[in-house]
Structure 1
């Protein structure tokens, strides 16, 4: 294979005053084609190149010395989005294999970040993102975990294969690993002492449910989750050493980075493959500057 493409960015920036920055930007992205090195027996191991045209409008604004807001609207048009997919190779024998398919898709949304210092030593920050994604072309495939397209979210085309499997279109489904909503809240408070500074912080993160693959059935959907982290940092007055203590996922919330239900066995049993997040994790870090 031999792949190449031109990429680049074109932008305009406007600063009417020292506290305001507005911009418009266009970017052209590219991901080369390739093949699945781990699937030597795949019938079609190759993937074509992937391209994206991304448009973004943004505004950054300071209000006084205590509040800052950053916001951005974006629209991304994917051509040839590379998606690994399990496909049916021989319906009569029930033989499946993994191959890349190239899909057309769009992604658009909003991102906002804010920082607020209502009083000295206290900083409150928040970020929110809304993401809408949709596959625009992609047909026709058998969902090996739902071969007869009976699950909610299935999009059968009406074509039935000799083994009873039904082909589905992917048009209208979301792209994988794209939660619709994500929210982050946090604060830091600094206690100034003669011996040094103590910074106490906490963050809360909400992540919406998300699909693991391009099929929209519930067997590939990981539920939403909420994670809370705590952190304490001590820095001496001479800035010679720093001690950091932290607790990640303080309430031991179970969340999944990947969630997939496999094809039913002859006895009707389905195996679910999960990739969970880290459980409650705590530790301490010591830094010394010579």
Structure 2
């Protein structure tokens, strides 16, 4: 099946620490995705390579549940992955021009996002 890897593995772990002022939860996720092909033909020029990624998250919630602070880092190692591969076509895709019906050999790869990080603050009014 196009763009569907044969294997994908994901594991998630989290642990919560309970304190008087609130709860701190730390979490980590690891994802590995096998190579995938752009179409039904499993040829090397239609292949996006395998990749893996680690994400981290910290979540603090106040005892009364009104405040929360969330911090995260996605793709901690800043690894480069490709989640799609599509053979590039020639020029205008005009079926009247014979050469436009063939791939030019180029491959468009969709990159996974680079390392991203952030903080989220939440407050519940009610």
TM-score, structure 2 normalization:
0.82
- The residue that corresponds to 1:255 in the other structure is 81
Q: 1:288 to 1:263 in 2, by over 3 A?
A: closer
- How many angstroms does 1:277 deviate by? 0.8
Higher strand share: 1
Match of 1:203 among 3, 21, 29: 29
- How many residues get paired? 113
Distance 1:193 1:183 in 2: 34
- The residue that corresponds to 1:7 in the other structure is none
5+ unaligned residues in a row in structure 2: which ranges? 91-98
Alignment pair present for 1:229 and 2:55 = yes
Match of 2:117 among 265, 276, 282: 282
Distance 1:181 1:216 in 2: 15
- The residue that corresponds to 1:192 in the other structure is 18
- How many angstroms does 1:272 deviate by? 2.3
Q: Where in structure 2 are the equivalents of 1:1-290 lying within 5 Å?
A: 175-262=1-88, 270-290=105-125
- Larger Rg belongs to: 1
Distance 2:123 2:29 in 1: 26
Q: In angstroms, what is the RMSD of aligned CA positions?
A: 1.8
Distance 1:263 1:287 in 2: 47
- How many angstroms does 1:185 deviate by? 1.4
Distance 2:5 2:121 in 1: 36
Q: Which secondary structure does the structure 2 equivalent of 1:271 belong to? A: strand
- How many angstroms does 1:263 deviate by? 6.0
